[in-house]
Amino acid sequence: MLVTCPSCRSSYRLDDRAISEGRTVRCARCATEWFAAATATPVMALDDVAPLDVVETPRIVDVTPSVVTKSARRAVFSFAARNEPVPARPTVRTPRKTSRVRPAAAFAIAGLAALALLVFERDTIVRATPSLASLYAAVGLDVNVRGLDIRDVRSSEQVEEGVPLLLVTGSIANLTQGQVDVPRLRLAVKSGDDRELYAWTTIANRLKLAPGGSAQFRARLASPPAEGEAVAVRFLGRRDIMTTNAGR
């Protein structure tokens, strides 16, 4: 009978009696083994067909174990784990640390802000609450309630027709954003020990000042006190009027 190798397709002539009911044979060319059955194609006249090696071994049985050992299972699982795509780690956003101001620091900041407001806005505060003027005076802070500033005060002595004269000049500036009335000015001659020797009043050349405006004043005193060494100029206040009326 004629058998053909399933791998290399080589054909072999084999005696039917050698096959009988079938047996395992090996290809002489590629060494492939397979089971040849007795129903193979009968041999016609194939003198040129190569002889076939008959394997005189028991029938080949698949001896691959059906039970996988623990070590093999671990190896398979390990290989699968290595080839399994690793899921990307979720990006964890760390919340930004917000600066927290401690209560004590917050109170300190608020206190400093309030103190700065009381100092730098004292004129506005006293203008709204005149009773606080004495408090500022007690701590040595001047308060300009009117919003006017007396500037460039100069004094000089002259003689006219044999009479000595004290001449005092200066200017007044409006520091506010609105129109301001200019009150009368009070001038006082003081001694070296800061005693007031004589006082009188005068007015500026303008009685109202626009925002940022200015006015000039000029005052003269005949026969000033001989002990006078300085001249103090300020606006006439309500207390001055009350004192003048009481002295009459």
Could you tell me the pTM of the whole model?
A: 0.47
Higher pLDDT, 219 or 132: 219
Q: Please check whether residue 184 is in contact with residue 203, taking contact to mean a CB–CB distance below 8 angstroms.
A: yes
pLDDT at 100: 64
Asked if residue 198 has pLDDT above 80, the reply is yes
Q: Which two tokens stand for residue 126?
A: 């006293």
Question: How high is the pLDDT of residue 81?
Answer: 44
**Which pLDDT score is estimated for 101?**
62
**Average pLDDT over every residue of 138-155:** 84
The pLDDT, as a whole number, for residue 163 is: 94
Greatest mean pLDDT among 103-112, 114-123, 135-144, 207-216: 207-216
Q: Select from 72, 237, 210, 216 the least CA-distant residue to 144.
A: 237
User: Tens of pLDDT along 3-46?
Assistant: 788 888 888 777 777 776 777 888 888 888 888 776 644 544 44
Cα separation, 241 vs 199, whole angstroms: 12
Provide the residue ranges of all domains of the chain, joining segments of one domain with +.
2-54, 107-138, 148-247
- List Cβ neighbours of 52 (8 Å cut-off, separation of 6 or more): 3, 12, 13, 14, 25, 26, 27, 28
Write down the CATH number for the domain with range 148-247: 2.60.40
Rounded percentage of the chain residues whose pLDDT exceeds 90:
33
- Give residue 201's Cα distance to chain centre: 60
User: Starting from the edge strand earliest in sequence, which strands make up the sheet with 163-174, in order?
Assistant: 148-160, 163-174, 214-222
pLDDT band at residue 145, thresholds of 50, 70 and 90?
Answer: confident
